[in-house]
Amino acid sequence: MKKTLVIGTRGSALALWQAEHVQARLKKRFRSLDVELRIIKTKGDKILEKSETRVSLPGKSNAPCWRRRSTSRCTA
């Protein structure tokens, strides 16, 4: 009976590369093991897909802050 190992990964290029690297190493080492990748989408991933994101700043009584994905700073 073939066993299956599922690796959960985010969908970013880096996360997928890392998961695929681990998957290949496991398959090479354990030939009888079936290794699958499963992409996990978090709430944060869904927020990042939007062009603008509303972010609450800690310690600022949850004052909203708007920022674009391409900028690293929020402006009130």
pLDDT for position 62: 47
Long-range contact list for 56-63, CB < 8 A, 24+ apart?
Answer: none
Domain coordinates in residue numbering, the chain = 3-40, 51-76
Verdict on whether the full-model pTM lies above 0.85: no
Q: How far apart are CA 63 and CA 22, in angstroms?
A: 42
pLDDT for position 29: 95
pLDDT of 3-23, one tens digit each?
999 999 998 899 999 999 999
> Which residues, given as ranges, of the chain have pLDDT below 70?
48-76
Distance of CA 6 to the CA centre of its chain: 16
